[in-house]
Amino acid sequence: MPIAWQPSGWRKASAGLAAAEQLAQAGEQVGVPKTRAFVALKRVGAYIGLKAGDMLLLDTLGAFTQAQDWEEGQRPIVWASNAYLMEQTGFSLSALKRHARRLAEIGVISFQDSPNGKRWGRRDAEGRIVEAYGFDLSPLSARVEEFEELYADLQAERELCQRLKRQITVARRMIRARIEAAVSSALRGPWTQFTRLFEELLDRLPRRHEASEQLARLLTWFKELQERVEAAYLKVTQVVESVENRPKTK
């Protein structure tokens, strides 16, 4: 069982920070290469709420870590000073603290605070961290598989949305072509009503990304309208053909 996170007194405690420390403890139990951890996060960063500034700070922190820091039983803790981080990122102190807090609240870093609130650390002769206080990137190790699965789900959703959009485009073109052909030929039928329904569906098309569920509903509505238009067009053209093919009387 993870040890309950205790606030150091140097920052305001929250459920998010406590959860981040639990993730850090879990991350210490697995070995994940830094590259894999960062690639997994960057693929879903925007989706989980990370801003560009958050990622800049995380990249800066990650540059301080070494390969052995990401091995099982280790924690990639960064003890860079605020002055250095501000210089590398261009952030003000308040911005630096804001981005660091969001990274922790979202659960991709944890704070390892020393008793006096100072960041510091030391490595042994082999370069392994033996004691450190600062920004702990261990939560990334704990969440790699979660992020990779999320990315796979997002990719599947994107592909499904693209497929649905293509099917909607085909249905739209068929409906428009049939209505225009009927109107240009002055065929009898509810073409004005169909045109109005068609325009209403066009107005419902998403202007930006929408979930596949909404696109699937729209596709169903377009196909239903297409069936009605096709049926009406077929009915009236059959009547016209019947009249035109009727034998002429002398």
CA 149 to chain centre: 12
Radius of gyration of the chain (CA): 30
**Whole-number pLDDT of residue 4:** 39
225 within 8 A of 175, measured Cβ to Cβ: yes
Please tell me the predicted confidence (pLDDT) of residue 247.
54
Q: How confident is the model at residue 246 (pLDDT cuts 50, 70, 90)?
A: low
What pLDDT sits at residue 45?
Answer: 95
Given this structure, which CATH class describes domain 15-149? mainly alpha
Give the tens place of pLDDT for each residue, 136-154.
Answer: 999 999 999 999 999 999 9
DSSP state of 203: H
- Provide the H-helix boundaries in 93-137: 93-106
Q: State the number of CA atoms in the 13 A half-sphere of 41 facing the CB.
A: 29
Higher pLDDT, 11 or 113: 113
What distance in Å separates the CA atoms of residue 215 and residue 212, rounded to the nearest whole number? 5
pLDDT at 250 over 60: no
Which pTM value belongs to this model? 0.78
Q: What would the pLDDT profile of 16-33 be if each residue is shown by its tens digit?
A: 889 999 999 999 999 999
Question: Could you count the other beta carbons within 10 Å of the beta carbon of residue 163?
Answer: 13
Q: Domain extents for the chain?
A: 15-149, 155-245
